[in-house]
Amino acid sequence: MAKHLSNKQEDVLNAFAMDYEPGAGLLEQYLLQYPEYSLQLVDLSRELSRELEDNGPLSADDLSAVNEGMRRIQEGPITLQALQAAPAKLFTDAVKVLGFPIQTGLAVREHRIEVSTIPSRILEKLALALRAPVAVLSAYMALPPQASQLRASKSSTKPAAAEKVSLERILKEAGYDEDALSKLFNGQ
C-alpha cells in the first residue's frame, strides 16, 4: 500500500477495514464506489483475508513490535509543527542511530541539507528515528535554511547566511572519509 495517503483515501481504507467480512461482497461495493482506490482496496482485502498461523503465544520480538506500534499509535504521528518545535537533542539522537556525527543532526534541525541529496533509504531511516512520516520530514527539510541563533551569538565573526548543501558535503565536513561516503551513497 502507499505510504502517503490522502485523508479521504485513508478514511475509505479505514472504513473498508472496519466493515470487512470475507465473501460478503464488500470489496465489490467499495470498488464501484471508489474506483480511484481500487489498487489499495484490493491490496488491503488480500491483507485482511490472509491466513495467519496461530500456533501459540507471541514471541518476545513480536510482543516488542506490537508494543512499539501501540506506543506510536497512542503518541500519534509527529507533525511539521512538532518537528519545528523539537529540541536539538531529538535530531542528534536520531542521527546517532544512523551512525552519523552530531553535526549532521544539527544540519537536519536547521534544514540546511537539501532533501534531494539524501538517498531514500537514509531518509526513511531518519524519519523512523525521528518517529515522523517521510512526507513530514521531507516537508521540514524543504523549509528555508536557518542558522542557529545560539551558535551565532557565540561567534567572534558575523555568521554567513545559512544555505542548503548536500548530505555528502555535511558528512565530509564532519570528517567522514571517502570510503565510508562511497559505501553510504552506493548502498553497500
Same domain, 84 and 45: no
Of 28-37, 74-83, 114-123, the least confident: 74-83
Q: What is the pLDDT of residue 112?
A: 93
Question: Residue 158 in contact with residue 87, Cβ under 8 Å?
Answer: no
Q: Strand, helix or coil at 128?
A: helix
Q: What is the pLDDT of residue 3?
A: 46
- C-alpha–C-alpha distance, residues 11 and 172, integer Å: 44
Same domain, 90 and 176: yes
Q: What is the pLDDT of residue 2?
A: 43
The tens digit of pLDDT for each residue in 153-176 reads 555 666 666 789 999 999 998 888
In the predicted model, is pLDDT for residue 184 greater than 70? yes
Number of domains in the chain: 2
In the predicted model, is pLDDT for residue 152 greater than 90? no
Per the rule left: phi > 0, alpha: psi between -120 and 50, beta: everything else, 58 is beta
Same domain, 174 and 102: yes
Task: Give the other-Cβ count within 10 Å of 82's Cβ.
Answer: 16
Same domain, 87 and 41: no
pLDDT tier at 115 (50, 70, 90 boundaries)?
very high
Q: Rounded mean pLDDT of the chain?
A: 81
pLDDT tier at 117 (50, 70, 90 boundaries)?
very high
Average pLDDT over residues 8-26: 82
The tens digit of pLDDT for each residue in 99-113 reads 899 899 999 999 999
- Of residues 177 and 141, which shows the higher confidence score? 141
Same domain, 120 and 35: no
- Burial string for 41-54 (b: 16+ CB within 10 Å, else e) reads beebbeeeeeeeee
Same domain, 41 and 90: no
| Domain around 129 | 80-185
The tens digit of pLDDT for each residue in 57-80 reads 777 887 887 777 677 666 666 788
Does residue 71 lie within any of the structural domains?
A: no
Same domain, 33 and 119: no
Same domain, 165 and 114: yes
Does residue 55 lie within any of the structural domains?
A: no
Same domain, 37 and 116: no
Q: What is the pLDDT of residue 6?
A: 65
Same domain, 172 and 101: yes
Q: What is the pLDDT of residue 54?
A: 63
